[in-house]
Chain A
Amino acid sequence: MSDLQSQRAPQEGLRVCVTNCPTLIVMVGLPARGKTYISKKLTRYLNWIGVPTREFNVGQYRRDLVKTYRSFEFFLPDNEEGLKIRKQCAEAALRDVRRFLSEEGGHVAVFDATNTTRERRETIFKFGEENGYKTFFVESVCVDPDVIAANIVQVKLGSPDYIDCGNDEATEDFMNRIECYKNSYETLDENLDKDLSYIKIMDVGRSYLVNRVMDHIQSRIVYYLMNIHVTPRSIYLCRHGESELNLKGRIGGDTGLSPRGKEFAKSLAQFINDQNIKDLKVWTSQMKRTIQTAEALGVPYEQWKVLNEIDAGVCEEMTYEEIQEHHPLEFALRDQDKYRYRYPKGESYEDLVQRLEPVIMELERQENVLVICHQAVMRCLLAYFLDKTAEQLPYLKCPLHTVLKLTPVAYGCKLESIFLNVEAVNTHRDRPENVDISRPPEEALVTVPAHQ
């Protein structure tokens, strides 16, 4: 995605839609069709690639308003009280959408609700038009009872709505809830809705119908949605074994493993073996230290240049002490905004994210993968899976000789951290208190970890 200079069309008159107008994504579908799963995942992805996105879950608004959920009867189509409240919630959510997109600098809002009637969707579309937003519908259609049952087990039984219910009770109530929507459900129609922009996802991604994609962001969203899947799998992230330059406290470069690093590589081989993973793919960067690590595994691996460590430009192979000595201004600027700071003739974390986007996309397509990479790279990938902000990303802890095992669960990711019991230097440098460009060297270097 190009780094756009943020030029938004001025909101004038009837808000003419220029290229950078905000996008309103509207989820559509019966309950337990994966709408919230898709909303959250898409939001996470868009934020990671730098598009300010937020989801607005109308069910959450309802829970905030109606303190205690009693039963599915709230959702009966003739329950006037229920209908009134639900409409209010939708309106409140849309008000927040407007504030986010028109006042708080949001680019994409995901309106997560069933939106199963044409009437409701027309109301939302008009809202979008009035405010100068482009509207894109994402409908999930699924009739497979096994999938629906699995969804209910994964995310509904643990919902606050069913906090005081047994599982069977909850499941029965939820099935009745779904019935309430079925009669009035109007799926996006080839003819009636031919002028709308939308994607219809069928059977958890077996097939897709895509209509009138209008711009770059919609095209990216479609591509992303078509690449994700829900097959259980695990992603393993780790760094190369400790390198010669790590020992010396130097950054970057392209050295080989230290003796302890080689130990780690062997332990990693053992660990992978013990995990007994089906069809594990192994990816490395094109730097010696990750490849050496992979070589110890005795399995095929793929080299990706885009997994190479962040390019420190003029600071390559320096220690932090040397950077402080030769480039004190740069060193301070980096501490001020580590995410956006670009090394002279090098890269920033922001650049890294852009570089790594194809890796994330392919990770989404794949199943079991082990990625052997580098500190900054691993931070970026981890931030994607754990939904960390740009501020948090550059300070995520990714120590040497530690494997992070990520397993998707419910709406997020379970994280296990496994230290493989081979000592290594610490390469994590926390943000110092004093980030002023006039700070004395000691204060700049106070958080530098020990090294040879």
Chain B
Amino acid sequence: MPMELTQSRMQKIWIPIDHRPSLPRRRYRACGPQLTNSPTVIVMVGLPARGKTYMSKKLTRYLNWIGVPTKVFNVGEYRREVVKEFSSYSFFHPDNEEAMKVRKQCALAALRDVQLYLKEEGGQIAVFDATNTTKERRDMVLDFAKENDFKVFFIESVCDDPSVVASNIMEVKLSSPDYRDCSSAEAMEDFMKRIDCYQVNYQPLDPDNHDRDLSLIKVLDVGRRFLVNRVQDYIQSRIVYYLMNIHVQPRTIYLCRHGESEYNVLGRIGGDSGLSIRGKKFSVALCKFLEEQNLKDLKIWTSQLKRTIQTAEALKLPYEQWKALNEIDAGVCEEMTYEEIKETYPEEYALRDQDKYYYRYPTGESYQDLVQRLEPVIMELERQENVLVICHQAVMRCLLAYFLDKSADEMPYLKCPLHTVLKLTPVAYGCRVESIYLNVEAVNTHRERSEEAKKGPNPLMRRNSVTPLASPEPTKKPRINSFEEHTASTSTSLPSCLPRENLNLNNSQNQF
């Protein structure tokens, strides 16, 4: 047994030359622990307007970004597909037998899609987003999971603060398709009655007794308090940690690159050069911009490379340096121009264009490695309020992909030009982006997808299981057979429970 190894050309992973079929197939993660083999169903629990969908979507976005294929199954959307016209809260009245039947069918349809996603479509986690407020309903889901060998993790949101509930209704319910033809006041009144319909039969999770053996987290009062029971594995522990770090305080995140550097001007990648004259001008402009933003308690973060620190210095405010924010390590290609790389390492040059996300520079890093490196930054960004992150092109693309729910495929081609600040504000279920160019000229460092890359990835290439995906479009087809013939709509847009103005969300029409 010679222990002969070869290094994969794209990801620079060492693998044995003779593929012994007896050993289980290894999945090369950039970040450690093997995913458990059983997929997990996350079951949301709670009255309407308690933030279940907010948490579902946010959690899904996070899990996909760290490379865990996750998808939300929102039962309300299934219901909207089947019941074309929403009449009023009386649909949700517990005595409305016809409606109860429909609602149950929708839940079952959603679960069938969960099964498909986890068993046949490569999904690892399915988020079953519905009220699930009765033991009976939860038992049904538990049975379903048991039959399919899925793990189950419950996330319950409990909140009795009327102002929070009212504010949620305003933020995301009034603009729901259900209330398309209503005034705000009418919608609010109807929704409150809708909540009452559920309240009557609400059986919260009871980890002290009945639900002692379930894995769950109860989120109380929008994160003031948590009850956690029987965390089973790594991914559940990450989910708990994530949920405990997010908050809903309004705040803004500013992302920008360092000012134009000497190397930028020379067309050289990487390195640790200082700012060019224009780069210094940008820093001054950035300082002025921040003053105008008039922010409360802005935190400023930089990398440990000279160019971001020089930029921050001009702001004359305290800042923190994070090594984790350093630019992607180009290994043997550090400080070269693209022409030099093409000449000296033509194969590497081509490989990178073929699959820019997975490609690792020899003795350097890949975007995939960057995501792993940046995860603690994302976690801390979630904890914080107003933050300005002065970083680098590849790093900024990774962070932006997290906030805008971009896939691994799109991430390395996101446009993050020099001297442009991206202002991100959480709103409804997503993030509003404003792009502010600070009016100081700079070179363009963006390389578009090459013709090679557009041909698509090499099917023979070994994939690592860490692949940020954009949160998949919700499955809308109800697959219910027992109804009036209708053709399931093939709408692919997101639920329009969002303010009418142009939001840049998972929408490919946005500028990125």
Contact of A209 among B3, B12, B23, B226 (CB under 8 A): B226
Interface size on B, residues (CB 8 A): 48
Segment touching A, from B140-148, B239-247, B423-431 = B239-247
Report if A2-B5 is in contact (Cβ < 8 Å); known contacts: A287-B14, A303-B28, A359-B32.
no
Kindly list chain A residues whose C-beta atoms are within 8 Å of the C-beta of B415: none
Kindly list chain A residues whose C-beta atoms are within 8 Å of the C-beta of B13: 286, 303
Kindly list chain B residues whose C-beta atoms are within 8 Å of the C-beta of A254: 363
Kindly list chain A residues whose C-beta atoms are within 8 Å of the C-beta of B334: 345
A281 to chain B, nearest CB (A): 8
* Cα–Cα, bound, A300→B24 (Å): 7
Report if A219-B383 is in contact (Cβ < 8 Å); known contacts: A3-B323, A209-B225.
yes
A179 to chain B, nearest CB (A): 25
Q: Decide if the interface of chain A is mainly helix, strand, loop or mixed.
A: mixed
Most interface-central of A1, A208, A295, A316 (chain B CB within 10 A): A295
Contact of B5 among A4, A208, A295 (CB under 8 A): A295
Report whether A365 and B322 are in contact in the complex, using a CB–CB cutoff of 8 Å. no
- Chain B residue at smallest Cβ distance from A354: B323
Instruction: Map CB proximity to A onto B197-231 as digits: 1 under 8 Å, 0 otherwise.
Output: 00000000001000000000000000011111111
Instruction: Map CB proximity to A onto B1-33 as digits: 1 under 8 Å, 0 otherwise.
Output: 101010100001110100000011010111111
A339 to chain B, nearest CB (A): 15
B105 to chain A, nearest CB (A): 35
* Cα–Cα, bound, A316→B363 (Å): 11
Report whether B237 and A226 are in contact in the complex, using a CB–CB cutoff of 8 Å. yes
Kindly list chain A residues whose C-beta atoms are within 8 Å of the C-beta of B372: 305-306
Report if A306-B32 is in contact (Cβ < 8 Å); known contacts: A292-B3, A300-B24.
yes
B186 at the interface (CB under 8 A from A): no
Instruction: Map CB proximity to B onto A267-311 as digits: 1 under 8 Å, 0 otherwise.
Output: 000000000000000010011100110011011111111100000
Instruction: Map CB proximity to A onto B330-371 as digits: 1 under 8 Å, 0 otherwise.
Output: 000010000000000000000000000000000100000100
Segment touching B, from A89-97, A147-155, A210-218, A441-449 = A210-218
B34 at the interface (CB under 8 A from A): yes
Report whether B3 and A262 are in contact in the complex, using a CB–CB cutoff of 8 Å. yes
A421 at the interface (CB under 8 A from B): no
B201 to chain A, nearest CB (A): 24
A residues 191-235 with Cβ under 8 Å of B? 206-213, 216, 219, 222-223, 226-227
Kindly list chain B residues whose C-beta atoms are within 8 Å of the C-beta of A226: 228, 231, 237, 240-241
Kindly list chain B residues whose C-beta atoms are within 8 Å of the C-beta of A406: none
B8 to chain A, nearest CB (A): 11
A residues 349-390 with Cβ under 8 Å of B? 351, 354, 358-359, 362, 365
Report if A210-B228 is in contact (Cβ < 8 Å); known contacts: A3-B321, A216-B383, A359-B32.
yes
A30 at the interface (CB under 8 A from B): no
Report if A207-B230 is in contact (Cβ < 8 Å); known contacts: A288-B7, A295-B5, A298-B23.
yes
B residues 284-340 with Cβ under 8 Å of A? 301, 318, 320-324, 334
B86 at the interface (CB under 8 A from A): no
Contact of A365 among B16, B23, B237, B318 (CB under 8 A): B237
A16 to chain B, nearest CB (A): 14
Report whether A362 and B32 are in contact in the complex, using a CB–CB cutoff of 8 Å. yes
- Chain B residue at smallest Cβ distance from A307: B32
* Cα–Cα, bound, A227→B14 (Å): 31
Instruction: Map CB proximity to A onto B269-282 as digits: 1 under 8 Å, 0 otherwise.
Output: 00010000000000
Subset of 7 A-B contacts with CB under 8 Å: A2-B321, A7-B318, A209-B226, A256-B3, A305-B30, A305-B31, A345-B272
The 9 closest A-B pairs by CB, nearest first: A207-B229, A210-B226, A208-B228, A292-B3, A291-B14, A2-B322, A304-B32, A295-B3, A211-B225
